[in-house]
Amino acid sequence: MWPRHHVIVPVAVIDVGSNTARLHVARGSEALYRERAMLRLGESIELTGAIPEGKLVETTECVAGFARQARLHGAERIEVLVTSPGRQAANGEDLLGRLAGATGAPVRLLSADEEGRLGFLGAVSAVGGSTRRTVAVCDVGGGSTQIAVGNRREGATWVRSIDLGSMRLTSRMLSDDPPGGDAVSAARAEVERQLVGVLPPPAEVALAVGGSARALRNIVGVKLGASELDNLVGILARTPAEEIVDLYGVDRQRVRTLAAGAIIFEVLCERLGVPLRVTRGGVREGAVIELEGQRAAA
pLDDT at position 297 over 80:
no
Residue 6 binned pLDDT confidence (cut-offs 50, 70, 90): low
> Is 63 within 8 Å of 56 (Cβ atoms)?
no
Helix (H, G, I), strand (E, B) or coil at 121: helix
Residue 56 binned pLDDT confidence (cut-offs 50, 70, 90): very high
User: Which pLDDT belongs to residue 295?
Assistant: 72
pLDDT at position 1 over 80:
no
Q: In the predicted model, what is the mean pLDDT of residues 119-129?
A: 92
pLDDT 10s digits, 272-284 = 999 999 998 899 9
C-alpha radius of gyration, the chain, whole number: 19
> Is 254 within 8 Å of 262 (Cβ atoms)?
no
Q: Which of 58-67, 168-177, 289-298 has the lowest mean pLDDT?
A: 289-298
Of residues 297 and 285, which shows the higher confidence score?
Answer: 285
Residue 298 binned pLDDT confidence (cut-offs 50, 70, 90): low
User: Which pLDDT belongs to residue 46?
Assistant: 93
Question: Among 172, 155, 190, 179, which residue's Cα sits nearest to residue 240?
Answer: 179
User: Which pLDDT belongs to residue 243?
Assistant: 96
pLDDT at position 171 over 80:
yes
Q: Note the helical H segments in the chain.
A: 41-48, 53-72, 84-88, 92-103, 112-127, 166-173, 181-194, 211-220, 226-238, 241-248, 258-272, 283-297
257 contacts: CB under 8 Å, gap ≥ 6: 19, 142, 166, 167, 169, 170, 212
Question: Among 176, 161, 151, which residue's Cα sits nearest to residue 237?
Answer: 176
Q: In the predicted model, what is the mean pLDDT of residues 236-240?
A: 96
pLDDT at position 36 over 80:
yes
User: Which pLDDT belongs to residue 170?
Assistant: 96
Question: Among 48, 51, 41, 155, which residue's Cα sits nearest to residue 94?
Answer: 51
Supply the mean pLDDT for the chain.
94
Q: In the predicted model, what is the mean pLDDT of residues 60-68?
A: 98
Q: In the predicted model, what is the mean pLDDT of residues 142-156?
A: 96
Domains, the chain, ordered by start: 4-109 (3.30.420.40), 113-278 (3.30.420.150)
Please give the model's pTM, rounded to 2 decimal places: 0.93
User: Which pLDDT belongs to residue 130?
Assistant: 82
User: Which pLDDT belongs to residue 212?
Assistant: 93
User: Which pLDDT belongs to residue 4?
Assistant: 44
User: Which pLDDT belongs to residue 3?
Assistant: 42
DSSP 133: S
DSSP 10-77: -EEEEEE-SSEEEEEEEETTEEEEEEEEE--HHHHHHHHSS--HHHHHHHHHHHHHHHHHHHHTT-SE
User: Which pLDDT belongs to residue 155?
Assistant: 95
* CA dihedral for 140, 141, 146, 152, sign (positive or negative): negative
pLDDT at position 5 over 80:
no
pLDDT 10s digits, 95-110 = 999 999 999 999 999 9
